[in-house]
Structure 1
Amino acid sequence: MINRLAIFGATGDLSARYLLPGLAALRAAGHLDEEFEVLGSDRSDWTSEQFRFWAAAQLERHGDASPADARKAITASARFHRADVTDPVDVASAIAGDEPLVVYLALPPALFSSAVSALDRAKLPAGSRIVLEKPFGEDLNSAVELNRQLSEVVPEDAVFRVDHFLAMTTVENVLGARLANRMLEALWNSAHIAEVDIVWDEQLALEGRAGYYDGAGALKDMVQNHLLQLLCLVAMEPPISLGERDLRDRKVDVLRSVRPLTDNDVVHRTRRARYGAGRVDGHDVPAYVDEQGVDPDRGTETFAEIELELDSWRWAGTRFRLRSGKALGRNRKEVTVRFRPVPHVPFGHSGEVLPNVLRFGLEPESLALDLTGTGSRARTFAPLTLTAEMAAADLPPYGRLLLDVLTGNPALSIRGDEAEEAWRLLEPVLSAWSRDLIPLQEYPAGSDGPSPARPGG
């Protein structure tokens, strides 16, 4: 296990809200040694003492689920070095030492290439690892180039293209429900499943993230990485094991099986929109174009939806819908599996017989199955929902993610070819949207989103 973690972009939101609390959770669970060090770096003109003071405040605010002694241990282990992550001399000074370390690039994606170049010239110690947050590149070409750069610095198994979605307990339960239950796996195909919705709808609006979000939008921010990762877990063939190679191979197979989208497909199977002024959860929300830092001429979408079909024996005929939106009226974060209706309902019964629906709640974590049962009166049908309480996770998602990185387990990180396949899949959508083949709709903040009718449909 590596005992040094260098965070470039150490005073940013990612470090404050997720990385430091994740480390505190690891410390509380006994996963970190006394010798563990946090090396913070960015352009802030801070001393190590100032960084520790800031880190303590962030852990008080975001990491209070961990005991005070664990938080204090993380704060005490931290030191700071002012550095320009694109400058090899600064980077070499920030990571000085012969022992291997994990370098976490908690940076805007636009800086990844320059940062990796600087790390290459700074000469990382042997055995070191590099972590990159999503999105990995801006498009297919940039992803290919970034993979090439990384291959010159560290081996592929030392590159962690992380997605904290894959560290969620419920996401793992998707695999567990499928692969450890004969009943479900026997039904897990297009003969029984009509469609799958993978949804991340949130009430949260821009919340001061224009610097990143306005250059990305919902398609790149959520669909290209997070939701495609969930698609892979739902649709993959059973792997031989959950080891690095077997799991990742099957995920890539799913992306390769997605039917390529033509311009006509994009027109009829995708939607894009951005929120206008409205009220969310009792609070006024300005229109996206009026948010501070937004360039209205970019045409950035805050809502994206795409329907996909897989050309495979298992899934031919099933529709997969991926959707994500901001500033919506309710939070809906789930994988919904809709089964086909039964072929015959016995004569003489009344009441609606709805198709079975299996829901994996992502946040909060839950599991529910919608069935049809008997009603209160004889010979009637009525809906019935079975729910299960999920066991509390031993670690938060970023704690699990950091543990995998520090111990060198890349099974749940994204392999280079998988990152490229995800971009290749969405290239036709990005191209068609850039040519305005799909109009940019608008929906009021606090609503259910844009009209279900597609402009091209």
Structure 2
Amino acid sequence: MTIRRLVVFGGTGDLTGRYLLPALAALYAAGHLDDRFSLRAASREDWDDARYREWADGQLDRHGTDFPAAARSAVTASADYRRADVTDPADVAAAVAGDDPVAVYLALPPALFPATVTALHRAGLPRGSRIVLEKPFGENLSDARELNRLLSELVPERAVFRVDHFLAMTTVQNVLGSRLANRMLEPIWNSTHIAEIEIVWDETLALEGRAGYYDHVGALKDMVQNHLLQLLCLVAMEPPLTLGERDLRDRKVDVLRSVRPLTDYDVVQRTRRARYSGGRGAGRDVPAYVDEAGVDAGRRTETFAEIILELDSWRWAGTRFRLRSGKALGTDRKEVAVRFRSVPHLPFGQDQDVRPNVLRFGLEPESLSVDLTATGSRPETLTQLSLTARMDTPDLPAYGRLLLDVLRGDPALSIRGDEAEEAWRVVEPVLSAWERGLVPLEEYPAGSDGPPPRHATPERRDDLLHEESVMRAE
């Protein structure tokens, strides 16, 4: 059943203006929406419909210029506004009032999810309604479990859309396409042939006025716990029988369940955290993170996070998975890099500079490339080749694809409740060890390559090894 009513709580926020309104314009432009569709924005601002439409027009002029003027006008014409406290059942009930099923989008800080879901439960939703939540899903494993319990009292699991827009990106989808539709790849997609897979989202972008959100979250929760773990699932999953919701999501959960739990010793050896100091990046001076407006230096929020994981599975035993994300770095690097093992023997002499093959899925810009070794210009010499293909522009932006799935009721690209909990299980040992200071918070200059490699001191390593042996004995 297709839903034709969308209510967005947080309807005047950055997420709505930057992504949701342009996504709706894309759906209008592609013919997926018509004059029966209605948008209701709900927020704390004391606005009326005219004021909201004026604001929405301005957001579309800034972020929706890729779409025809008629499509943008259709979005604002479909919209009305309700002032609402998202924790007040009466306000919530007024915002979602109507006989037809409604899709309720919580474009809110995660801390407000439980109270808003509780208010929705008290208000009641028409049969067949759906609810959409942005990442991060809770603040920890306990929060995720409690939120899942609240949601189960509101709507069926199939009507819950825990969205992650990375899953709708063209290149992310192409990870599956390249693996499963090419006979040359799947037989070697295992630890026998692959030494390491890097999943990287390094950006030159600094805080850019997002301290209100980011300083309470940090790089690990903002990127690694959700976006990068989702990419890990697609890269490492066993081939599903179909790309339907059950088969696809079952295989993703299998990957998360197979992640080897990290002990304190593992966290010290396999993770890094850092934040940027003052420097020059992207052609301008960047202040230190602690000097950014709205930042509380006492929170010790990291802007760079890296973890190395291993999977306890037949396919991947012996392969390392490196997940990394950082802000205010010298270059943008957003890719999945599959690094193959070296060949066992070279008949070209020992002085050849031969690098292992690398298959790269570029995430932004979207591309696919492979690094190969070939014969050079002189006999018995080798040279490096890089073959790159740019991906076609998708018919819909990532948020457009996600909204269309919500309205049509297809949850295949949303995150199931048990999957959200398993993702927290993976990162909670890291969060705990970091909170206890086992891994120092390093610094790196803005515009640099990030923090240099760090190793535990011999004394601290011995202490952790002793603690590890005691825990295993117990």
| TM-score range relative to shorter protein | over 0.9
1:403 matched residue in structure 2? 404
| Residue of structure 1 in register with 2:157 after alignment | 156
1:47-86, aligned counterparts within 5 Å?
A: 47-86=48-87
Query: Is the CA contact (8 Å cut-off) linking 2:310 and 2:319 kept in structure 1?
Result: yes
AA in 1 matched with 2:368: L
* Deviation for aligned residue 1:34: 1.4
Q: What is residue 277 of structure 1 aligned with on the other side?
A: 278
Q: Which one-letter code corresponds to 1:57 in the other structure?
A: G
Which residue of the partner structure matches residue 373 of structure 2? 372
CA deviation vs aligned residue, 1:288-331 (integer Å, no higher than 9, x gap): 11111111111110000000000000000000000000010111
Q: Which residue of 1 aligns with 2:446?
A: 445
Pairs aligned (count) = 457
User: Residue 3 of structure 1 contacts residue 33 of structure 1 at CA under 8 Å; is this kept in 2?
Assistant: no
Provide the residue aligned with 2:455 in structure 1.
Answer: 454
Aligned partner of 2:262: which letter? L
Which whole-Å CA distance do the structure 2 matches of 1:349 and 1:67 have between them?
A: 60
Amino acid in structure 2 at the alignment position of 1:345 = L
For 2:64 and 2:190, the matched residues in 1 are separated by 41
> 1:354 corresponds to which residue?
355
Distance 1:140 1:406 in 2: 29
Residue matched to 2:310? 309
TM-fit CA distance, 1:351 = 3.1
Q: Give yes or no for the alignment of 1:99 onto 2:118.
A: no
Provide the rounded CA distance (Å) in 1 between the counterparts of 2:193 and 2:349. Answer: 25
Aligned to 1:45: 46
Percent identity for Structure 1 against Structure 2: 74
Shift of the alpha carbon at 1:348?
Answer: 4.3
Deviations along 1:152-175, one digit per CA (max 9) or x if unpaired, are 000000000000000000001000
Q: Secondary structure at the match of 2:184?
A: helix
Deviates more, 1:181-190 or 1:350-359: 350-359
Could you list the per-position Cα deviations for residues 382-425 of structure 1 after superposition, in whole angstroms to 9, with x for gaps in the alignment?
A: 00111112111010000001001110000010000000000011
User: Could you tell me which residue of structure 2 aligns to residue 183 of structure 1?
Assistant: 184
Residue-by-residue CA offset, 1:192-245 (whole Å, 9 max, x unaligned): 000000000001111111111111100000000000000000000000100000
Shift of 1:349: 7.7
Structure 2 counterpart of 1:31, one-letter code: H
Distance 2:281 2:392 in 1: 31
State how far apart, in whole Å, the 2-side matches of 1:236 and 1:357 are: 19
2:432 is paired with a residue whose SS is: helix
The separation in 2 between residues aligned to 1:443 and 1:350, in whole angstroms, is 36
Tell me if the contact between 1:39 and 1:81 (Cα under 8 Å) persists in the aligned partners.
yes
- The offset of 1:455, in angstroms, is 4.4
- Residue 454 of structure 1, CA deviation: 3.5
CA distance in 1, matches of 2:385, 2:348: 21
> In the alignment, which residue of structure 2 is the partner of 1:211?
212
Equivalent AA in structure 1 for residue 278 of structure 2: A
- Mapping for residues 326-365 of structure 1, pairs under 5 Å: 326-348=327-349, 351-365=352-366
CA RMSD, 1 decimal? 0.9
**C-alpha distance in structure 1 between counterparts of 2:367 and 2:58, whole Å:** 32
Aligned to 2:21: 20
Is 1:308–1:321's contact at 8 Å kept on the other side of the alignment? yes
1:14-36 deviation digits (Å, cap 9, x = unpaired):
00000000000000000012110
SS at match of 1:182: coil
Whole-angstrom CA distance in 2 between matches of 1:58 and 1:223? 29
Unmatched tracts of structure 1, length 5 or more: none
Residue matched to 2:290: 289
1:354 positional shift = 1.0
TM-score, normalised on structure 1?
0.99
Shift of 1:365: 0.0
Which amino acid is the alignment partner of residue 147 of structure 1?
Answer: N
Q: CA offsets, 1:61-107, max 9 Å, x none?
A: 10010100000001100000000011000011111101011100000
Inter-CA distance 439–87: structure 2 relative to 1 (3 Å threshold): same
**For 1:288 and 1:455, how far apart are their aligned partners in 2?**
25
Amino acid aligned to 2:282: D
| Match runs of 1:164-243 below 5 Å | 164-243=165-244
